Structure 1
Amino acid sequence: MDLNIKHKIHRELLGPRLVEIFDTRESRFLYFGGKYLQSQMLHNEPERLALVYTRYMVSALLLLPELRRVLIIGLGAGSLIHFLRHHFPDCHIDCVDHSKRIIEIAEDFFEVKECDRVAIHCCDGREFLASPPSPLPYDLILIDAFDEEGMATGIYEASFFTLCSDRLHPDGVASFNIWHNKKTVISNVIRGLQSSFPHNYLLPIPYRGNVIANMLHKPIAWHRLLPGKAQSRNLQEKYQIEFNTIGKLAIRKNMKLPARLRWFLRYL
């Protein structure tokens, strides 16, 4: 028996959007538009990030001195919530999605639940940031607002980036998942982000069209992205994230060769 055979367990039209949920023995999947995979949850390890782009997004944890407050825009099936609740139980999480039905699907099929530390808000991401429930800044902002047509309109544009910048803690990181079938669109989004944040690094995901753009107010502590071998191994076992691979990619893609050589001579 092939354990990877997908069995459809739910199908509905959400306006013009086709929403489907599939099961295998190991995982549950959320698809939009008949072919666009949005989320994957492992039945026995819901806290483990199964999709590579989600692991690249949260790899910015290495740069954060503390994780007290997180904002997620774009719920999907709630994989980021599961990960953060498991590893950072004292952290407060605000998650925003404009679709009440997507929130219901996440609750009914993907074990997503509100609690004292997790608040799910059904509203527009821009409206939420313009008038958040608390004046306290976020240590980590994760933007993953997509449908079958690509990046959500109104989210991936300059005025929204400014709101994110205003709500980000001075030591924090805002991580944006960027994807489009036109490279010019991706380039325009990145330029808009770079105009709103003074420091950034990009993570083009190998063999995929996604680019993770990590934006900061402070200079990047590159040495934190490549911890020593023992620490890297411990972190990878704890979080199930390939930190060493991601850190090397960050340095290779964002530093010019002379700077890379100086950095490696200093820290390695």
Structure 2
Amino acid sequence: MRAFSRRRFHGIGRGAGDNTDADSGVHMSEEYGVRSLHIGSSMVQSAMRLATPNHLELIYTQCMMGFTLFHPRPENMLMIGLGGGSLAKFVYHRLPQVQTTVIEINPQIVAIARDHFFVPADDDRLQVVIAEGGEFVASHPRSADILMVDGFDDGRQVPSLCSQDFYDRAREALKKNGVLVVNLLSRDRAVHDYIHRIEDSFAGRVATLLAEPFGNLIVFAFKHSPDRSAWENLRECAKQREEELALPFTKFVNKLQQRKPF
């Protein structure tokens, strides 16, 4: 068994070996070659295998890439919540045509993501903005092909990122064929309320993918209904995306459910 080590961080840009304040709520752990980020609780918010830092280690992040089954060639992505930057890095390295903007409210998390999770510096394809996600979404209508929302605080959904108004604004932030991707927890008592709000904002055009029992539930909401052929050819499309991105899309398709056929 390899040794387990946990290091806590306080402030921006401090090294892993520094003695730090555990009250900051943000800490990092390493075990069996996997570095994890924890925010506000012991739950793993983000994880990176040191041998393959640009791979998606957590299943739920792999599932969130399921949007490519319906929108395989996006040009602009907006991500709410950086964490360890797993999805931002994956898109940066595997989808080079995409311009990604990541909104993160906590500058400490941005510093740790860049110093210890190898998130690239800002350039013409990646921008990390310190801002509140709900406010940014509301002020940027029709700006994104894909909007990803992965916002938690102490293991719970951030209230400003799961309200009816937020989901209404999220729909407005998407371009014509845009897709909203939301990470929820299936064991959250309010999860069905969140899904119903998304359905109300997106006229029922919602599909869900359970990443793992009693774990993450990924919601896909479509600004406009995908073509009928998208559903009819879903398995063939999954095989193609699986070859391109090395993610188990054929397995995910079996668990993908339309909430209300549309």
Match of 1:153 in 2: 159
Deviation at 1:84, TM superposition (A): 0.2
In structure 1, how many angstroms separate the alpha carbons of the residues matched to 2:80 and 2:32? Answer: 29
**Partner SS, residue 227 of structure 1:** helix
Match of 2:13 in 1: none
Query: Is the 1:67–1:139 Cα contact (8 Å) retained in structure 2?
Result: yes
Indicate how the Cα distance of structure 1 residues 14 and 246 shifts in structure 2: closer, same or farther if over 3 A, else same: farther
Deviations 1:127-160 (A, max 9, x none): 111223xx65311111000122411121111111
Match of 2:131 in 1: 123
Counterpart of 2:176 (choices 166, 170, 173) is 170
**TM-score by structure 2 length?**
0.85
Indicate how the Cα distance of structure 1 residues 179 and 215 shifts in structure 2: closer, same or farther if over 3 A, else same: same
Q: What amino acid does structure 1 have at the position aligned with 2:123?
A: C
Which structure shows the bigger proportion of residues in helix conformation? 1
Match of 2:192 in 1: 187
Counterpart of 1:39 (choices 27, 46, 54) is 46
Q: What amino acid does structure 1 have at the position aligned with 2:193?
A: N
Q: How many residues align?
A: 248
In structure 1, how many angstroms separate the alpha carbons of the residues matched to 2:160 and 2:206? Answer: 22
Query: Is the 2:160–2:166 Cα contact (8 Å) retained in structure 1?
Result: yes
Q: What amino acid does structure 2 have at the position aligned with 1:45?
A: T
Deviation at 1:44, TM superposition (A): 2.7
Deviations 1:60-99 (A, max 9, x none): 1110152100000010000011100011112110000111
In structure 2, how many angstroms separate the alpha carbons of the residues matched to 1:9 and 1:75? Answer: 20
Match of 1:18 in 2: 25
Match of 1:215 in 2: 221
The 5 Å alignment of 1:1-268 reads 2-3=1-2, 5-12=3-10, 17-24=24-31, 26-112=33-119, 113-132=121-140, 137-179=143-185, 181-183=187-189, 185-198=190-203, 199-220=205-226, 221-227=230-236, 232=239, 235-251=241-257, 254=259
In structure 2, how many angstroms separate the alpha carbons of the residues matched to 1:14 and 1:154? Answer: 28
Match of 1:264 in 2: none
Indicate how the Cα distance of structure 1 residues 181 and 147 shifts in structure 2: closer, same or farther if over 3 A, else same: same
Q: Does 107-116 or 92-101 show the bigger shift?
A: 107-116
In structure 1, how many angstroms separate the alpha carbons of the residues matched to 2:54 and 2:30? Answer: 17
Deviation at 1:17, TM superposition (A): 5.0
Give % identity. 25
Query: Is the 1:154–1:160 Cα contact (8 Å) retained in structure 2?
Result: yes
**Partner SS, residue 36 of structure 2:** strand
**TM-score by structure 1 length?**
0.84
Q: What amino acid does structure 2 have at the position aligned with 1:165?
A: R
In structure 1, how many angstroms separate the alpha carbons of the residues matched to 2:225 and 2:186? Answer: 28
**Partner SS, residue 64 of structure 1:** coil
**Partner SS, residue 82 of structure 2:** coil
Indicate how the Cα distance of structure 1 residues 17 and 225 shifts in structure 2: closer, same or farther if over 3 A, else same: farther
In structure 2, how many angstroms separate the alpha carbons of the residues matched to 1:127 and 1:33? Answer: 22
Query: Is the 1:17–1:148 Cα contact (8 Å) retained in structure 2?
Result: no
